[in-house]
Chains A and B, each alone.
Chain A
Amino acid sequence: MGDFSIEKILISGATLASLLHRSSASSGDLHGFLFGHVVFSDSIPLSDDDTTSSSPSLTATITSFISLPSHLPLPPPITLSFSSTLLGWFSARRKTPLRPSLKDSLTTLSLSSSCSLAFTPHNSTALHPPSLFLLLTTPLQDKLIHTHEYKTYEYCIPSKSFEPKSLSIINIGPFFRSHYDSFSPNAPFPLINCDLRGSNAMVEDEEGETLEAIRRALKNQKKLDMCAEGFEIRRMSKLVGSEAAIYMGELEDLYDKMLCKIDALSKLVEQTSVKVVGQENQNMKLRYKVAGME
């Protein structure tokens, strides 16, 4: 287990930004799991220098995370989807030295020594434990310009120590082209079958379709119709020709209705947000009471 160490750690700018935002917006310290994927590659050194032998290495890409306040224990690790694995965890604490703490090393140890959490990197057979640790802090001195500090480590089981690793940020741009070329999309949403009803030229071929499938298709169709409110795609043809002027009015009506709906929805969101904030304040007050700080 863990024969190869992780050579490169990548994170998308958006994921890192979201992580930094989450930690600075929270009232206290945070921790959570990091998810992503690991690719095993026989890297061929570009230089013809013999000393850099072509050793196989692992490249980890952090794509997502979950977080919770750090006074709560980390939940039993879960896998988000088949395409992302648990790579490790992170700890975000304000105004502390940028060094793993006692708790950090104990948590990392327990994660990386758990056999059930080990994963198999792409195109590899060896199991690898979730041994990454990302530490986020804010500087101890107030006068510094930067507002965040972070450091990534890989926990090395044989030596029981943290090995600092560099974290590369992937952004959108020509320089990062290669990352997107090798990108394979994986949508976590189920695909909705949106076959057009009525375009029934192939009806005869559907004999093999089970009743269950038809029922599902009907259900999906119903959902689609609800969104369209009677404006099926067939009626799109009316956008051209003599009826177009009348039809435009109808469409504008539809848009108005949609805007009203969105407006109502956003009001609803606003109201619930107020309730959430109220509840959070109430929780805070209760916590202060428990801590004897009234």
Chain B
Amino acid sequence: MAIDTVPPLIAAQLNDLISHSSFPIKVEQMWSGCKNPSLLDRFTLVIPFCLDYIKWDVIYNAIYPLAAPDIIFGPEDESFSPYNGVNEAVDSKSSKNCLADWNSKDPSRLLRLIIELRDAYTTYQKKRVGEVDDDRLKFELSTMLSREGIEMCTSSGIDKPEEVRFAVPLLEMDINKLVLGSTWKRPQKIYLQVIFPVGKKSPSAPRLKLVSPVELKALFSIDDFKLPPWLEGMCMAEYLPTLEEMLQAQITDAVLSIEVRRKFIMVLEPLFGRPLEADPVFCRKATFLANSGVFTFLVHISIPLQFPKQKPTLILQSSQHFISHGAPVKSPLLTDYPWSPRWEASEMAGRIYDFLVDECLNFKKFCNESMVLLR
């Protein structure tokens, strides 16, 4: 399927949607509803909602691309019908919806429509959660609603008990601004996913999980964070402040540790020379050029988040030995060198240097052997 067979008016709207959306929207598949199957006018959008995804089919008409698109919602959302509520009609804003005055020449229309519908969907799910007959849930809702940006939804399947899922955005601070020169495109927000089982006589603890964008891993790994225990009879309003306090402290530490890593890279410089390449934002990686006699090689140093508690890992890469497809010969991960987190940074650097003076001879041998194997 080539993108050039999407009629230009539709393609413009779709591209605008994908590049300008504040939340990552993906196109799952595209297909044609015309007699000419090379004109693609239908596609499935994968839209993030409540730490999960909703899939909506957008139906355009390639023959009449000036007409507004139609949307088919997910099979479990048949009762979701935006723009038709009698109560909503009172609200003058919603009575004039995006579809009413469609302008196909304006590429931002599809994005506006999707945002409008996603907002309506958020309200719809909130209403559904409000209708769930569960005392604890009602209490949680009444105490939690003062927090902004909470998304929630109910889910139930044939073989699954009914559950209510919350996505609670944590921490007011803007992590993007904490890291100088960060290259993150999207806001790095950490969410707590809370799943309440519904309808059980004795309320059990909800299932809790932290969720963050993948890119945040360069600074802070939520997998390393230990959630505070959920005590019996607790509610979210009690739990969240403790959690946020702990998280805030750890993120502040994570931001400070960037500087520790930066200093470490700097003390490597007198020994190895200026790095060929170094990660200037998170200071997780640095590559140096080294030689032993005529044997020249690269030293890749990657510094873990728990530095200096954990030692960096080293990989050597020859610049003279290449195996098939021109790939250079690389050493396995090297960590077998003396280390103590209590040492001064210059001591750590010195030990690594001393280790490599010996190790590079082994590596040279390893390189020559792998070349012999090739012949």
Residues of A within 8 A of B (CB): 27-29, 69-71, 93-97, 99-106, 109, 140, 160-162, 284, 287, 290-293
Does B75 belong to the interface (CB within 8 Å)?
yes
30 contacts between A and B (CB under 8 A): A69-B63, A71-B67, A94-B33, A94-B34, A96-B33, A96-B72, A97-B57, A99-B78, A100-B72, A101-B70, A102-B71, A102-B72, A102-B81, A102-B82, A102-B99, A102-B117, A103-B70, A106-B81, A106-B84, A160-B81, A161-B78, A162-B78, A284-B63, A287-B63, A290-B66, A291-B7, A291-B8, A291-B62, A292-B8, A292-B9
Instruction: List B contacts of A101 (CB < 8 A).
Output: 59, 70-73
Instruction: List B contacts of A140 (CB < 8 A).
Output: 31
> Could you list 6 further interchain pairs (A-B, Cβ under 8 angstroms) beyond the known A29-B33, A71-B61, A291-B8?
A27-B34, A93-B59, A95-B33, A96-B42, A102-B82, A106-B84
Chain B residues bordering chain A, tally (CB within 8 A):
33
* B83 in contact with A102 (CB, 8 Å): yes
Instruction: List B contacts of A97 (CB < 8 A).
Output: 57, 72, 75
> Interface readout for B47-68 with A: 1 if CB under 8 Å, 0 if not?
0000000000101011111110
Closest to B63 in A: A28
Instruction: List B contacts of A293 (CB < 8 A).
Output: 7-8, 39, 65
Does B177 belong to the interface (CB within 8 Å)?
no
Does B183 belong to the interface (CB within 8 Å)?
no
* B64 in contact with A28 (CB, 8 Å): yes
- Among A70, A161, A290, A293, residue most surrounded by chain B Cβ atoms (within 10 Å): A293
Known: A69-B64, A99-B75, A291-B65. A105 touches B81 (CB 8 A): yes
Partner of A291 from the list B66, B73, B75, B84 (CB cut-off 8 Å) is B66
Task: Give bound CA distance, A162 to B32, whole Å.
Answer: 27
Residues of B within 8 A of A (CB): 7-9, 31-35, 39, 42, 57, 59, 61-67, 70-73, 75, 78-79, 81-85, 99, 117
- Among A96, A102, A284, residue most surrounded by chain B Cβ atoms (within 10 Å): A102
Instruction: List A contacts of B39 (CB < 8 A).
Output: 293
Say how far A71's CB is from chain B's closest CB, in angstroms. Answer: 4
- Among B8, B67, B117, residue most surrounded by chain A Cβ atoms (within 10 Å): B67
Say how far A144's CB is from chain B's closest CB, in angstroms. Answer: 14
Say how far B357's CB is from chain A's closest CB, in angstroms. Answer: 64
* A27 in contact with B63 (CB, 8 Å): yes
Instruction: List B contacts of A291 (CB < 8 A).
Output: 7-9, 62, 65-66
Known: A29-B61, A71-B64, A291-B9. A93 touches B81 (CB 8 A): no
Give the top 10 A-B pairs by smallest Cβ distance, nearest first: A71-B67, A71-B64, A94-B33, A292-B8, A28-B63, A291-B65, A103-B70, A102-B71, A101-B72, A101-B70
Instruction: List A contacts of B42 (CB < 8 A).
Output: 95-96
* B59 in contact with A161 (CB, 8 Å): no
Say how far A142's CB is from chain B's closest CB, in angstroms. Answer: 9
Task: Give bound CA distance, A292 to B105, whole Å.
Answer: 11
- Among B8, B73, B81, residue most surrounded by chain A Cβ atoms (within 10 Å): B81
Task: Give bound CA distance, A100 to B79, whole Å.
Answer: 10
* B35 in contact with A27 (CB, 8 Å): yes
Instruction: List B contacts of A109 (CB < 8 A).
Output: 81, 84
Instruction: List A contacts of B78 (CB < 8 A).
Output: 99-100, 161-162
Instruction: List B contacts of A160 (CB < 8 A).
Output: 79, 81, 84-85
Instruction: List A contacts of B71 (CB < 8 A).
Output: 101-102
Instruction: List A contacts of B33 (CB < 8 A).
Output: 28-29, 93-96
Task: Give bound CA distance, A105 to B71, whole Å.
Answer: 11
Instruction: List A contacts of B117 (CB < 8 A).
Output: 102
Partner of B70 from the list A28, A69, A102, A161 (CB cut-off 8 Å) is A102
